[in-house]
Chains A and B, each alone.
Chain A
């Protein structure tokens, strides 16, 4: 029987396991920070709100009932904190405006996504590596990561044994890891 990683982490965090909490933070912090950056347009504020979010998660994990995905729950906490910040700081808009000046390469530019790509070394390298990767590897990996398909479905689509899917996805990750190891 399969148990999701999130279920296992939640169970252990509820038992007060700080190491499990750290693994959860590693997993979700980048996505929470990115969403807050889009929401606030402020790196400093987003970092602060991200930290507050995970503190809140640690404090409130017992109230998480599993009615939504873990990420959804964490995301809602982060957005509520951001909203509360703006409600309580309506008279402090000047400081927010000032902080926007240093965001050129940090805030996702919806109007010019190509610039966003060019300005991010990690994305450029990953993009380049994907293009040159053998098609069987990149297809298996893309179906998993972009489409969130389980291995057995990928196995049926690609008409290969599940062990081959496992191997292809792992090899794709390894190729990508080696390409980016100098910038992480």
Chain B
């Protein structure tokens, strides 16, 4: 199978430890002898290192922003870390699907543990899962340029340094808006302790996502106000 792959594809597998013993040793010899391939090897390593640096930067950046605003900085940091670390578990165990959101937190707890919710997980759109994984893995996805600077949820203040982050003193969240390329047609959310990832399709064809320690009912009200 690998004979059909070109050298750059093999290099990618090599870097990821995905070649078997013989393939690896064969490729190593090629890499040592081929200066063009070696340059590509350097480039791929630079890229991987850059991505890891970005992850560290954004983790610190998120932490420092919340520290400046003096609201539950440590808690938020734990939230994001926990979500990042447990998102797979969350999808598998805690995933729930709000067909029609009702302002009752108890419904969430019921939904989370219900057999129905866990069954629904099997039906969740693959792209949706990817979207949520990405949102929770890294700040890289949390764009703020599409959030109207004049929009402010009732009772919240905006982070002056990051237009898509808001707090009301107890709760904090970040908003991400982009085209609804996953064609989500009704709201969905994931809960993990106090924390929520809430996705809401807007009437204008975009998808808004909220990530943070905010009650789902409040997140829902915020999202509805954004949709008006």
- Chain A residues packing against B (C-beta within 8 Å): 1-5, 8-9, 12, 19-20, 22-23, 26-27, 30-31, 34, 110-114, 116-117, 122-123, 126-127, 130-131, 135-136, 138-139, 141-147, 150-151, 157-160, 166, 169-170, 173-174, 176-177, 180-181, 184
Contacts and interface: CB of A to CB of B under 8 A. Distances in A.
Nearest to B91: A157
B44 A139 contact: no
Interface string B8-44: 1100111111111100110010011000001011111
B61 interface: yes
Interface residues of B, number: 54
Interface stretch (B45-53, B183-191, B192-200): B45-53
Contact of A173 (B21, B25, B47, B127): B47
A144 B50 contact: no
B57 A117 contact: yes
Contacts of A113: 57-58, 60-61, 64
Nearest to B127: A135
A177 B130 contact: no
Nearest to A178: B43
A110 B64 CA distance: 9
Interface in B109-156: 126-127, 129-131, 133-134, 137-138, 140-141, 143
A138 B138 CA distance: 11
A157 B51 contact: no
B157 interface: no
6 contacts: A3-B25, A141-B51, A151-B16, A166-B18, A173-B12, A180-B43
B5 to A, nearest CB: 8
Which 4 A-B residue pairs are closest in the complex by CB-CB distance?
A19-B32, A170-B12, A113-B57, A126-B50
Given A22-B32, A142-B137, A166-B13, 15 more contacts: A2-B24, A5-B24, A19-B32, A30-B46, A113-B64, A131-B141, A131-B143, A135-B134, A142-B138, A143-B133, A144-B16, A166-B18, A169-B12, A170-B13, A173-B12
B88 interface: yes
